[in-house]
Structure 1
Amino acid sequence: MPTGIAIRDVREQLFDAAERVLLRDGPGALTSRAVTTEAGCAKGVLHRHFADFDAFLAELVLDRVRRLQGRTEALRAAAGTGTVVGNVADELAELFGSVAVGLVGLVTSRDGLRARLRETTPTGVPLLTEATEMFAAYLAAERELGRLPSDTDVESLAPTLVGTGHLLFADRTAPRPSPEAVRRVVAGVVREL
């Protein structure tokens, strides 16, 4: 690999490369060599910016969690528009159509990574925990607007939706579920008024 060449936004370049490896080859193929090869840089570049590979992976997961926070605000702003089932189904497809499934597999398979992430997400699985909070906030807003029954238990409903969405999208080698299949599942869980 070339040396002495400045790389712009090296962290983001490495994160994007890791995502491509995850999406294409799965969590088992994600190594520092695979990431740097995909990014087109020397292996030492990763280790100059991160203490070790688990530190890199933890930062990758936390970066993707931060991105989810922007979507949380957008979903909350959608309360009162469209249909609740449609909004939830679209967001589930967006969430699990991204690299989230690969990241969840990565977190559950690497003890060192999980240990590092416990510092910021003491319970649950990072990304899924924040997604659950996102759906709970959205559903609570819809309940306040009267588009869901007043007795809707959003604290139970949100993890049900996230778990169901994860199951629908979990097999990265299978065809993606159709939008209709996602909507049908969501409609089976969410009772709109």
Structure 2
Amino acid sequence: MPTGVHLRDARQQLFDAAERVLLRDGPDALTSRAVTDEAGCAKGVLHRYCSDFDACRTDLVLDRAAQLETQASALRESAGTGTVTDNLTTALTTLFGPVPVAVIPLVTFRDELRARLRRATPGGGIAILAQVATAISAYLADERELGRIAADADIDSLTLSLVGGGHLLFADRDPGPPPTATVDKLVTTVLADVVQRRPR
């Protein structure tokens, strides 16, 4: 194994290597050896950035969760444009992309990782799902303010239905993500009552 390879921006390269392992082989395969082999560096490089491998996993999850902020901002900016259903269908497809969907089981099945995430950020114990829920909830609240969904719409319940249903649709990515029509059907069904009632 190479021990003298110099990595520029080593922390990011380690994260990218961990992401490739996660996408290719799943959360069980995400070990320190797998990451350093994938990155082509010695294990000492990894330990320079993390006190232990759970710390590395925590930093990876927080980094990938933060990347969802761009998609969350785009969703909020779409409020008042297009249709609510189309906006949410696009958002769910993006927010539940391959990397977020690969990270969720990593978080779900590692108690120590969830504990560290909770210490790192409020609501962090369910990182990724928490970010998706926050994005969807904020968007729905914006659309309610604009009068495009019913004024008495229960934002929390709608968010849980969309995020939970969306996650179930995208969780099994073999042979691939669900068709857009399937995601659209979920969104249309969840929102049918609050969109049809046209508030105010």
Give the TM-score normalised by structure 2. 0.90
Give the letter for the 1:82 counterpart: G
How far off is 1:41 after superposition?
A: 1.5
Question: 34-43 or 115-124, which moves further after superposition?
Answer: 115-124
Task: Identify unmatched segments of 5+ residues in structure 1.
Answer: none
Alpha-carbon distance between aligned partners in 2 of 1:104 and 1:124, rounded to the nearest angstrom? 11
Percentage of matched positions with identical amino acids:
57
Q: Which has the higher contact order (CA 8 A, sep 6+)?
A: 1
Alpha-carbon distance between aligned partners in 1 of 2:87 and 2:175, rounded to the nearest angstrom? 24
Alpha-carbon distance between aligned partners in 1 of 2:64 and 2:93, rounded to the nearest angstrom? 16
Alpha-carbon distance between aligned partners in 2 of 1:151 and 1:108, rounded to the nearest angstrom? 33
The number of equivalent residue pairs is: 193
Q: Secondary structure at the match of 2:141?
A: helix
Specify the alignment match of 1:31 in structure 2: 31
Mark the CA change 1:121 to 1:103 in structure 2 (over 3 Å): closer, same or farther.
farther
Specify the alignment match of 1:160 in structure 2: 161
Alpha-carbon distance between aligned partners in 2 of 1:38 and 1:121, rounded to the nearest angstrom? 32
Q: Say whether residues 1:169 and 2:170 are aligned partners.
A: yes
How far off is 1:102 after superposition?
A: 1.6
Q: What whole-Å deviation, never above 9, does each CA across 1:20-76 have from its counterpart, x for those lacking one? A: 111111111111111111112222211111111100010011111211122222211
8 Å Cα contact 2:22-2:29 kept in structure 1: yes
Alpha-carbon distance between aligned partners in 2 of 1:10 and 1:64, rounded to the nearest angstrom? 16
Alignment of 1:1-193 (within 5 A): 1-119=1-119, 120-122=121-123, 125-191=126-192, 192=195, 193=198
Q: What whole-Å deviation, never above 9, does each CA across 1:73-121 have from its counterpart, x for those lacking one? A: 2211111111111111111111112311221100111122111111113
Task: Identify unmatched segments of 5+ residues in structure 2.
Answer: none
Mark the CA change 1:123 to 1:43 in structure 2 (over 3 Å): closer, same or farther.
closer
How far off is 1:4 after superposition?
A: 3.8
Alpha-carbon distance between aligned partners in 2 of 1:158 and 1:38, rounded to the nearest angstrom? 37
Q: Secondary structure at the match of 1:151?
A: coil
